[in-house]
């Protein structure tokens, strides 16, 4: 019984890795559709999000089945509960990538972001993609340096999020009001994507160390 359960836990981990990879790809494509006003790519990201939602439901069903059939306790139980929560964060990351593409679709053939702020969004997207890739690697390796990097990247992401609002408040900001709305939302979507990546990193960190607070300073 014990051996089967470990295989099941590993399968759950593999499913998380699969979703995490899709979520990372979704953000890569979402940003490209946003930056290049690529309607076709935007539509693809929006359509592909259904696959992430489906995989999350499948993972959750698997986790509940594990709880029912195996009645895990202690660390194994916390691993299964953490998987349920991590799948929820990953699913939201997929939604947020989709939202970025929905902004691109809404403004097509225009660009969402004025040229003055495009480099900020480029860096935010790079950080989001890097964080998602590190989430995948962290889920695979449980190497906590990756969790620390995710937290560090999120700090930079939060600073950039604030800088978007500072840029909008600057007298030199000359975009129209709908464009201001879009930039506000895009910045918020990137920022929330990063928060969910940190949430996953915290949970892996907790499973590895058994400690909630001390291993990831600053969050």
* Minimum distance of its own copies from residue 85's CB (angstroms): 7
Say if CB 215 and CB 154 are below 8 A apart: no
Contacts of 48 (CB under 8 A, 6+ apart): 22, 26, 29
Of 40 and 172, nearer to its own copies (C-beta) is 172
Give yes or no for residue 185 binding its own copies (CB under 8 A): yes
By CB under 8 A, the residues from 75 to 134 that bind its own copies are 77-78, 81, 84-85, 88
Which token pair is 162? 């604030």
Give yes or no for residue 177 binding its own copies (CB under 8 A): yes
Which token pair is 164? 């978007």
Task: Kindly tell me which residue out of 5, 108, 173, 206 binds its own copies, with binding defined by CB under 8 A.
Answer: 173
Say if CB 104 and CB 39 are below 8 A apart: yes
Of 185, 36, 57, 56, nearest to 109 (Cα)?
A: 36
Give yes or no for residue 54 binding its own copies (CB under 8 A): no
Contact footprint for its own copies (CB under 8 A): 64, 67-68, 71, 73-74, 77-78, 81, 84-85, 88, 165, 168-169, 173, 175, 177-178, 180-181, 184-185, 188
């Amino acid at each position: 019984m014990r051996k089967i359960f470990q295989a099941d836990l590993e399968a759950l981990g593999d499913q998380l890795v699969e979703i995490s990879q899709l979520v990372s790809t979704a953000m890569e494509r979402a940003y490209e559709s946003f930056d290049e006003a690529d309607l076709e790519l935007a539509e693809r990201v929006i359509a592909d999000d259904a696959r992430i939602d489906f995989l999350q439901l499948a993972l959750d069903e698997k986790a509940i089945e594990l709880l029912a059939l195996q009645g895990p306790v202690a660390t194994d139980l916390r691993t299964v509960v953490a998987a349920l929560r991590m799948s929820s964060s990953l699913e939201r990351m997929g939604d947020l990538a989709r939202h970025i593409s929905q902004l691109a679709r809404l403004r097509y053939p225009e660009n969402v972001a004025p040229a003055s702020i495009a480099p900020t969004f480029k860096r935010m997207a790079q950080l989001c993609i890097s964080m998602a890739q590190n989430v995948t690697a962290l889920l695979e390796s449980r190497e906590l340096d990756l969790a620390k990097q995710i937290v560090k990247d999120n700090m930079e992401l939060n600073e950039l999020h604030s800088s978007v609002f500072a840029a909008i408040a600057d007298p030199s900001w000359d975009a129209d009001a709908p464009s201001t709305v879009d930039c506000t939302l895009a910045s918020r979507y990137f920022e929330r994507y990063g928060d969910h990546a940190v949430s996953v990193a915290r949970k892996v960190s907790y499973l590895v160390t058994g400690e909630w607070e001390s291993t990831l300073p600053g969050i």
